[in-house]
Amino acid sequence: MTDGVPFTKMNGIGNEIVVLDMRGRRERVTADAARAIGQTPGAHFDQLMVVYDPVTPQTDAAMIIFNIDGSESAACGNGTRCVGRLMFDESGKDRLTLQTRAGLLTVREAGDGLVTVDMGRPEFAWDKIPLAEPFHDTRAIELQIGPIDDPILHSPSVASMGNPHAIFWVDDASAYDLGAIGPMLEHHPIFPEGANISLAQVTGPDSLILRVWERGAGLTRACGSAACAAAVSAARTGRTGRTVRVSLPGGDLLIEWTDADKVLMTGATELEHRGMLPGEIFAPRAAVA
- Known catalytic membership, residue 228: no
Residue 259, amino acid: D
Of 51, 115, 223, 281, the active-site residue reads 223
Catalytic (active site) residue 76: yes
User: Which listed residue (20, 51, 61, 76) is catalytic?
Assistant: 76
Strands 218-220 and 207-214: antiparallel
The residues carrying an active-site annotation are 76, 223
